[in-house]
Structure 1
Amino acid sequence: MDIHSMRGQMDYNSVLMEPKHGKMLPGQEERLDSGVDSMQDDEILKEFEDMSVSAGEERTEEYERWREAVTEDGDTLLHLAIIHEATEQALHMIQLSRNHSYLNKQNHQRQTSLHLAVITEQPQVVDRLLKAGADPLLADNSGNTALHIACKRGSLACFGVITQNCQRHLTSILSIPNYSGHNCLHLASINGYISLVESLVQLGANINAQEPCSGRTALHLAVDLQNPNLVRCLLELGAEVNCQNYGGFTPYHLTYGRQNDEIRCQLYERTAFELRELPDSESDDSDMEELLEDEVYDDIKFGK
């Protein structure tokens, strides 16, 4: 079967299946889309193996019809190849689509091939996509770029590939917040990936960047999470201990009511004397308890 007839042959609504090799799907916000459930493994691999064109053939309009094939959930053939870890076929399609808008097509969760390659931990595919012209600034429906996802998942390999290939866009990528108000440094901090935190700061990430939702910095987050190793790392990297969130609270203020003495001691001597007391001494315990809760900022939801 030649490639331009593939669209007519593929049944995207075939039998539901488990992900390849029995892998569990990621969390709901990073699920691999129902494209995973759209074809059985042996069926999709056979379709890819039947691709009979070569990169050197003349690219006629008829020849390129395979790029129009999408599932009811918006997944392209390249999306499906990446999801199913059909690496050879994915790399072939990337080669054929160099500097083509096909590489940046988004499914109904606004995931691109680049997002999916990071989620499935395929740094080789990430590298080929970026070298072929994939856009690292595109965000999914949670506002995450591919680098956000690498930082959230602790993927050192994908992180390295993205940052090495995106020097021109690096400043923008490092500073962009997702729809929860978290930039890459915030995500690495929240998930306790100290090596990523160090790498991000070395690459130029603003260590004192504040969440637009609350004004917390990575150091505030480290205290919230009661992670003494992360607190120590951020202090060594030059985090500002006197930075106040939008409520006027420094990282040291967030140690009130917390049990970790190591964190309190790390921050006490470094915090300005006038900023050691709570800004509102008349605040009752319920107010402070509410302040110290670990907040998770979700997308705004309308209705139920």
Structure 2
Amino acid sequence: MASDGCSKEDLLEDGRTDSGIESYGSILKSEEPQEPSGDFSGPRDKFSTGEERLDSAYTSSSITVESLSEIVEGCSLSSAKHEQAQISELSEQENFLTTITEDGDTILHLAIIHEDIFSSQELIHLFPQEVLDIQNNLYQSPLHLATYLNLTGVVKTLMEKGASLELQDQDGNTALHVACQHGQTECVTEMIRDQSLSLLAPVLQTQNWRGLACLHLAALNREHKIMKLLMKKGADPNIQEGTAGKTALHLAVELHDITSVNLLLNSGANVDAPMFNGCTPLHLAVGRQDAQIADLLCQFGADKMLRNMEDETALDLADGNDDILALFPFDDIQISGRSVVSVTF
């Protein structure tokens, strides 16, 4: 994944080598996506894997916004019933509509990369649905690229034409993952607006190669509005990420994000959800000396005596913090967090 800053200039650097054209049938790829890393580090480059990305071209020079517009305007796109006939009647020069570049990009990918909204939307109307779901060599569909560049209108048009939300890029991210990570609320809204719960559920449960579902990414980036949208559409607040078993509530506690903690608890998050090592959100809050969040968890009924795999209760992690110790009333004598129920004098 990428650094947060991304613009079309990053994609269209001067002096870039032009690539040739592969046949339309070469869209099927033999390489497998890379394995999950379990790394929660920041995103990598949105459009490359560290190798130079080639800006594909269909002629002797890189395609430009002007040439894209001329090409698209040269095709009669006014009547949907004539689309197939129009495609079959394209001249040899216009066969680019059914070719992809050596980077795996269709002309629709390129129009989106150039942020040419008019051409992108016209091509979406022209192409059949299966063409809209072609993934390039980075496993990016047009919907991924439109989301990276926050082209909400293009995202809307793609969704209206039936573009798939389930496709994953080389990092395992669906386009919805991308929107959640980068706080693109309007893109999220367009993606989930008309989706039924049954169709959206698999996408909301999908984990990228770091084991993160969409709700995890929204929580990690403090995207409270997106979190609300996802849970309203059926996102499970208790889904665990794949590396340590943390729920969005664990992640919010680690970030000291009391707004997210409150939102999740009021949306049905399990206050005592255990990680793979047995730690509950209360363990994390006390361990991080966050008395305010620990108090909130206790107000929602957190069990103070649950033990992790190290046989520790949350109280064992208080480390003498008076504000946190005040949350644990001593009705009985306790030694190392264990209640002594029978005491005789």
TM-score bucket of the superposed structures, by smaller chain: 0.7 to 0.9
The residue identity in structure 1 corresponding to 2:255 is L
1:267-282 matches, cutoff 5 A: 267-269=297-299, 270-275=301-306, 278-281=308-311
| Alignment-derived partner of residue 3 in structure 1 | none
Cα RMSD of the aligned pairs, angstroms, is 2.9
Is the Cα–Cα contact under 8 Å of residues 68 and 119 in structure 2 kept in the other structure?
no
Using structure 2 for the length normalisation, give the TM-score.
0.69
SS in 2 for 1:211: coil
Quote how far apart the aligned CAs of 1:174 are.
Answer: 1.2
Residue 147, structure 1, aligned to residue 176, structure 2? yes
Residue 206, structure 1, aligned to residue 236, structure 2? yes
Is the Cα–Cα contact under 8 Å of residues 163 and 170 in structure 1 kept in the other structure?
yes
Quote how far apart the aligned CAs of 1:141 are.
Answer: 0.8
| Alignment-derived partner of residue 16 in structure 1 | 16
Relative to structure 1, is the Cα distance of residues 273 and 75 closer, same or farther in structure 2, using a 3 angstrom cutoff?
same
Residue 28, structure 1, aligned to residue 44, structure 2? yes
| Alignment-derived partner of residue 143 in structure 2 | 114
Relative to structure 1, is the Cα distance of residues 165 and 66 closer, same or farther in structure 2, using a 3 angstrom cutoff?
farther
The answer for unaligned runs of 5 or more in structure 2 is 1-11, 18-41, 314-345
Quote how far apart the aligned CAs of 1:62 are.
Answer: 5.6
Relative to structure 1, is the Cα distance of residues 79 and 260 closer, same or farther in structure 2, using a 3 angstrom cutoff?
same
Is the Cα–Cα contact under 8 Å of residues 56 and 103 in structure 2 kept in the other structure?
no
Aligned equivalents of 2:68 and 2:180: distance in 1? 34
The residue identity in structure 1 corresponding to 2:157 is R
Relative to structure 1, is the Cα distance of residues 282 and 82 closer, same or farther in structure 2, using a 3 angstrom cutoff?
closer
Q: Find the structure with the greater CA-based Rg.
A: 2
Aligned equivalents of 2:192 and 2:13: distance in 1? 37
| Alignment-derived partner of residue 70 in structure 2 | 49
The residue identity in structure 1 corresponding to 2:193 is Q
Relative to structure 1, is the Cα distance of residues 13 and 71 closer, same or farther in structure 2, using a 3 angstrom cutoff?
farther
| Alignment-derived partner of residue 96 in structure 1 | 126
Quote how far apart the aligned CAs of 1:16 are.
Answer: 3.4
Is the Cα–Cα contact under 8 Å of residues 16 and 37 in structure 1 kept in the other structure?
no
**Alignment equivalent of 1:183, drawn from 189, 202, 213:** 213
| Alignment-derived partner of residue 59 in structure 1 | 86
Is the Cα–Cα contact under 8 Å of residues 76 and 86 in structure 2 kept in the other structure?
no
| Alignment-derived partner of residue 30 in structure 2 | none
The residue identity in structure 1 corresponding to 2:75 is V
Aligned equivalents of 2:16 and 2:43: distance in 1? 19
Is the Cα–Cα contact under 8 Å of residues 56 and 105 in structure 2 kept in the other structure?
no
Quote how far apart the aligned CAs of 1:265 are.
Answer: 1.5
Aligned equivalents of 2:274 and 2:153: distance in 1? 42
Is the Cα–Cα contact under 8 Å of residues 14 and 40 in structure 1 kept in the other structure?
no
1:184-263 matches, cutoff 5 A: 184-263=214-293
1:163-174 matches, cutoff 5 A: 163-167=192-196, 169-174=199-204
SS in 2 for 1:235: helix
Quote how far apart the aligned CAs of 1:113 are.
Answer: 0.2
- State the number of aligned residues: 263
> Could you report, residue by residue, the CA deviation over 1:58-87 in whole angstroms, capped at 9, with x for unpaired residues?
235462722333333222211111011111
Quote how far apart the aligned CAs of 1:273 are.
Answer: 3.4
Relative to structure 1, is the Cα distance of residues 78 and 256 closer, same or farther in structure 2, using a 3 angstrom cutoff?
same
| Alignment-derived partner of residue 26 in structure 2 | none
Relative to structure 1, is the Cα distance of residues 60 and 153 closer, same or farther in structure 2, using a 3 angstrom cutoff?
closer
Using structure 1 for the length normalisation, give the TM-score.
0.77
The answer for unaligned runs of 5 or more in structure 1 is 1-11, 18-25, 284-304
Aligned equivalents of 1:29 and 1:237: distance in 2? 34
Aligned equivalents of 1:35 and 1:130: distance in 2? 28
SS in 2 for 1:169: helix
The residue identity in structure 2 corresponding to 1:59 is Q
Quote how far apart the aligned CAs of 1:212 are.
Answer: 2.4
The residue identity in structure 2 corresponding to 1:46 is S
Residue 81, structure 1, aligned to residue 111, structure 2? yes
SS in 1 for 2:193: helix
Relative to structure 1, is the Cα distance of residues 14 and 274 closer, same or farther in structure 2, using a 3 angstrom cutoff?
closer
Q: Equivalent pairs: percent with the same residue?
A: 34
Higher mean C-alpha displacement, 112-121 vs 255-264: 255-264
SS in 1 for 2:101: coil
Is the Cα–Cα contact under 8 Å of residues 15 and 37 in structure 1 kept in the other structure?
no
> Could you report, residue by residue, the CA deviation over 1:138-175 in whole angstroms, capped at 9, with x for unpaired residues?
11111111111111111111101000133252111111
| Alignment-derived partner of residue 35 in structure 2 | none
Is the Cα–Cα contact under 8 Å of residues 82 and 116 in structure 1 kept in the other structure?
yes
Quote how far apart the aligned CAs of 1:45 are.
Answer: 2.3
